[in-house]
A and B are shown apart, each in its own frame.
Chain A
Amino acid sequence: MIQTFADWLIYEVIGLSADSRLGSSLDFFVYDSLKILLLLFLISALMGVVNAYFPIERLRNYLMTHRLYGLQYFLASLFGAITPFCSCSSIPLFIGFVKGGIPLGVTFAFLITSPLVNEVAVAMFLGSFGIKVTAIYVVSGILLGMIGGVVLGRMHLEPLLSDWVKQIQAQSSAQTAEWEEEKVSFFDRLPQILRDSWNIVKGVLVYVLIGIGIGAAMHGFVPEGFFETYLSKDNWLAVPLAVICAVPMYANAAGIVPVIEVFVAKGIPLGTAIAFMMAVVGLSLPEATLLKKVMTWRLVGIFFGVATLFIILSGYLFNIFL
């Protein structure tokens, strides 16, 4: 349906030829933009509904009052995936978890998955790569958070927290914070949820258009197999190089996925591309400076190091199995 509209707009209304480079690039641009923005709106709304009924406070209280024998890593990571991510919320969340006496490893599980699997990344992946690759991305993102959390938890890193956070941790109580259940009906909540979704779409609109624009331009002009020479599966350095370059990058998932889509179409192995995306979206310098407020540089380094290592490993795994 969207394709029909794009074809109609470009070939009938504007009157470009489907065989021309400009025509096919523009067609691709209109189709991709509409599809992705629609997906983004729907997924944000879906996550908004889930969050309205399972707020993060409820997870924290649950983790505080139940012995879960390992399942807590899964729950923390899963929640990290479904909560809408805003880098500015990661610190309040971190402190909230520490305050509740939740182990550091579980908190890290949340902290890894939260930026990695977010509504924007999921919508962009779904729109660009389809359901199979998106499922792989989401599932491995959640696994990555769990494994990273368990490993970091085993390292006993509590002494490396900032002093004021250590104080909070010492005073932490298993007492559940007052949590007033809001009794608002679904239909009363829906307008707010839809408005939030629309705000998310509006917030990334420019990046989506720029990203797809660059992607569309490259789609028409970069020759097939262009990148294969440099970043083929046989080149075992490609994955770590791609990931390490991506860690300090703070590119919006919205802007970068359409570009990566073209890279993959032109011959970069999918596994390398997914690992690159994970590092771009999941780890960034602004996040590191934010985390510095609650932990020492050494701990920030260890956290980023462990996450980077696991992203590289999963890149190799994707390349073997995909």
Chain B
Amino acid sequence: MEIKVLGSGCSRCHKALEMVEKVVKENGVDAHVEYVTDIMKIMEYNIMATPAVVVDGVVKIKGSVPSEAEVKKILGV
């Protein structure tokens, strides 16, 4: 699984990244987590609010810090 957390470096974006990393680690999800801060790359996903979480190229969460349950849901664990 290819997970990308998009964010321009604000605290909310860091929180989203931490949450995703935590769920991946605790549940042993076979996934590669990448933190994307380059605004030009972020804009390729056509989002208007950060943080956003992209799973295998599909934007799953945008504009909010997800809860643990939400991350589990989108990662299917």
Contacts and interface: CB of A to CB of B under 8 A. Distances in A.
A89 B39 contact: no
Interface string B2-34: 000001111111000000000000000000000
Contact of B10 (A87, A95, A164, A195): A87
B10 A86 contact: yes
Contacts of B9: 88
Interface in A112-129: none
A288 interface: no
Chain B, interface SS category:
loop
A92 B64 contact: no
B9, B40, B48, B64 pick with most chain A CB within 10 angstroms: B48
Q: How big is chain B's contact interface, by range?
A: 20 to 34
A86 B12 contact: yes
A168 B46 CA distance: 12
A165 to B, nearest CB: 10
Given A56-B49, A89-B49, A196 B64 contact: yes
A95 B11 contact: no
A89 B50 contact: yes
A91 B10 CA distance: 12
A195 B67 contact: yes
A58 to B, nearest CB: 11
B25 to A, nearest CB: 22
B39 A91 contact: yes
B11 A56 contact: no
A56 B8 contact: no
Contacts of A168: 43
Contacts of B49: 56, 86, 89, 92-93
A296 interface: no
A96 interface: yes
A60 B47 CA distance: 12
A71 B75 CA distance: 42
Contacts of A199: 65
A79 to B, nearest CB: 11
A21 interface: no
B39 A192 contact: no
A57 interface: yes
Interface string B46-57: 111110000000
A96 B65 CA distance: 20
B48 to A, nearest CB: 4
A191 B51 CA distance: 19
Nearest to A92: B48
A290 B7 CA distance: 13
Contacts of A294: 39
B39 to A, nearest CB: 6
30 contacts: A56-B48, A57-B48, A60-B48, A86-B10, A86-B12, A87-B10, A88-B7, A88-B9, A88-B12, A88-B50, A89-B48, A89-B63, A91-B39, A92-B43, A92-B47, A93-B48, A93-B49, A96-B43, A96-B46, A96-B47, A99-B43, A99-B46, A164-B40, A168-B43, A177-B46, A192-B67, A196-B65, A199-B65, A203-B11, A293-B39
Given A92-B39, A199-B65, 13 more contacts: A56-B49, A86-B12, A86-B49, A88-B12, A89-B49, A92-B43, A92-B47, A92-B49, A95-B43, A96-B47, A99-B46, A164-B40, A195-B67
